[in-house]
Amino acid sequence: MISAHWPFSPSKVPFFYGWVIWGISTLGILFSIPGQTMGLAVFTDSFIEVLGLTRTELSLAYLFGTLASSLFLARAGRWYDLFGGRIMISIASLVLSIMILYISFVDSISDAMGGSTLISFCLILIGYFGVRFFGQGILTSCSRNVLLVWFIKKRGLVTGIRNVFVSLGFSMAPLLLASLISLFSWKVALWILAVTGGLGFSLLALVFIRDNPESCGLRPDGINLESLQETSSEVPSQTLRQVKYSPIFWIYSLSLSMHAMFGTAIVFHIVAIFEEAGKGRSEALSYFIPAAIFSTISNLLASWVADKITLKPILVIMLLAFCFGSWGFINLNSSWGFWLLALGFGIGGGLWGVISNLAYIRFFGPKHLGEISGFSTSITVFASAIGPAAFSLGFDFFGSYNAAAKICLAFLFLLLVVAIFLNQREGGQLAST
């Protein structure tokens, strides 16, 4: 293991080192964009053109690659518990860079192997698996978790501030990547991502990340031991095996997964969805701006409030917002549909960020956080894989994306009802009514 005092000791820094971890954690999630749907979606048309695949075929490659990645994420969570965030984030970033470079050459590799549809399909599937597993999966999860142990009293606030920057970065990413593609090419855009967000960040993480404050002779929140004992609200840690029998785990995981499935489908097919509603590409891309504004505001407010209240009302409001957003999606051809979609998924997405950060450590403790969050992430990634393919197949069979949206709305409403009546006692005691 790498010494916590290499290449410098965090205890010598003239301010609480947790804020350095906050910065690296934020960058880690942002640099996972090549493995996130909003990052990949910008390249969809380019991949279709150079690989000779249909939109449905590319969606299925995305589906199978993402599904495959989800199968290994729980194990990756165990690696986090075993090796720590410093090593895992550095390795994930480095391998993500390699996978991005691989995707940039996938058309050339396909041509060299005969250029058949099956070959192109398999090659891009491998690429999707790599960037999803190491980007959306490991890098995102580890970057999120490494910050949580550095703060207790201010955990909600610091994750909320981080989420503001992440939300803004994610919302701007499609436009920035589209600009890079326009200025250079889709290949060059991928090379830039590989060098900066992959290799560059891997070195940055190795130098600056520390797994926990105790290894550096520090305490969470930068307070002394006596204050920590008085203010800590950590709960007894539970194992993944125990958590799997918890109704609270499943209501939170399924709620997070529904947004992953629905939201991913929207982002992946954003241009086609808006074209179906009689709107152009520019209007489709403009959706991200108001959604990001609503997401930022709701996330910051909920993060501040979350340090003072239980998570149940935040969960209920999140699901209610997604229901309204789904109704806006179904009525996107109306002028109010656009704003209801942006408002619902914007507010819901902001609250999603709060819950995804705080739920598992608050209910189940920090000791097995990597494994528990890894298992939850595997479910979320699995759902995000289904979304684009389900909406694409729904369009092929029914001639509209609304059929899949209506099914999602029904599931969201069911989750909302369960969330309202589920007794959620934080502190690790699980019960349902």
Q: Where are the domains of the chain?
A: 15-421
Residue pointed to by tokens 């984030």 = 89
17-21, 133-137, 148-152, 285-289: segment of lowest average pLDDT: 285-289
Instruction: Provide the 3-class DSSP secondary structure of residue 430.
Output: strand
Kindly tell me the number of DSSP H helices and DSSP E strands found in the chain.
22, 0
What is the per-residue pLDDT for 211? 93
145 CA to centre of own chain: 12
264 CA to centre of own chain: 10
Which of the four pLDDT bands, split at 50, 70 and 90, describes residue 27?
very high
Instruction: Provide the 3-class DSSP secondary structure of residue 42.
Output: coil
Cβ atoms of 389 and 202 within 8 Å: the answer is no
Name residue 430's beta-bridge partners.
424
249 pLDDT exceeds 80? Answer: yes
431 pLDDT exceeds 70? Answer: no
Tell which residue, 292, 98, 85, has the closest CA to residue 193: 98
118-122, 132-136, 293-297, 424-428: segment of lowest average pLDDT: 424-428
Tell which residue, 414, 354, 367, 330, has the closest CA to residue 167: 354
Within 105-185, residue ranges assigned H as helices are 106-112, 117-131, 140-148, 155-183
Cβ atoms of 138 and 76 within 8 Å: the answer is yes
For domain 15-421, the CATH architecture is Up-down Bundle (1.20)
Structure tokens at 348: 């819901």
Under 8 Å CB-to-CB from 246, ≥6 apart: which residues? 238, 363, 364, 430
Cβ atoms of 367 and 315 within 8 Å: the answer is no
* Overall pTM surpassing 0.95 (yes/no): no
Average pLDDT, the chain: 88
Rounded CA separation 42/15 (Å): 40
Cα dihedral sign, 179-180-184-186: negative
What is the per-residue pLDDT for 235? 66
234 pLDDT exceeds 70? Answer: no
Backbone Cα Rg of the chain: 21
Structure tokens at 227: 């204050």
Q: What tens digit of pLDDT does each residue of 330-387 get? A: 999 888 999 999 999 999 998 998 998 899 988 888 888 888 988 998 898 888 878 8
What is the per-residue pLDDT for 187? 96
What is the per-residue pLDDT for 428? 38
Tell which residue, 268, 284, 274, has the closest CA to residue 47: 268
Torsion, CA 234, CA 29, CA 327, CA 255, rounded to 10: -30
Tell which residue, 359, 360, 358, 372, has the closest CA to residue 151: 358
Query: Residues 135-156: what's their mean pLDDT?
Result: 90
What is the per-residue pLDDT for 203? 93
250 pLDDT exceeds 60? Answer: yes
